[in-house]
Amino acid sequence: MVGKKEKQGFKAMFKRMLASRLAAAIAAALAALLLVIVGLGIRSVVLSESKSTKPGFENIGELATQTAYCTSVNVTEGSRELFGVTIPFTQSKYIYSYDIVIKAGFDFTEIEWEIKDTAITVRLPEAKILNSELKWDSFKLYHEDESIFKQIKMEENNEALKNLVQNAEKDAVANGLLDNARSNAETILRGFFGNVYNLEEYEIRFINK
Q: Kindly state whether residue 104 falls inside one of the protein's structural domains.
A: yes
Count the domains in the chain. 2
Q: Kindly state whether residue 88 falls inside one of the protein's structural domains.
A: yes
Give pLDDT tens digits for 37-53.
444 443 333 332 323 35
Q: Could you tell me if 31 and 130 lie in one domain? A: no
How far is the C-alpha of 168 from the C-alpha of 19, rounded, in Å? 91
- Tell me the average pLDDT across 184-190: 94
The domain of 9 spans 1-51
Domain boundary among 9, 24, 51: 51
Q: Kindly state whether residue 178 falls inside one of the protein's structural domains.
A: yes
Q: Kindly state whether residue 57 falls inside one of the protein's structural domains.
A: no
Q: Is the pTM of this model over 0.75?
A: no
Q: Could you tell me if 104 and 185 lie in one domain? A: yes
Q: Kindly state whether residue 56 falls inside one of the protein's structural domains.
A: no
Give pLDDT tens digits for 111-145.
999 999 899 999 999 999 999 999 999 999 888 77
Is the pLDDT confidence value at 157 over 90?
A: no
Res. 76 pLDDT band, cuts 50 70 90? confident
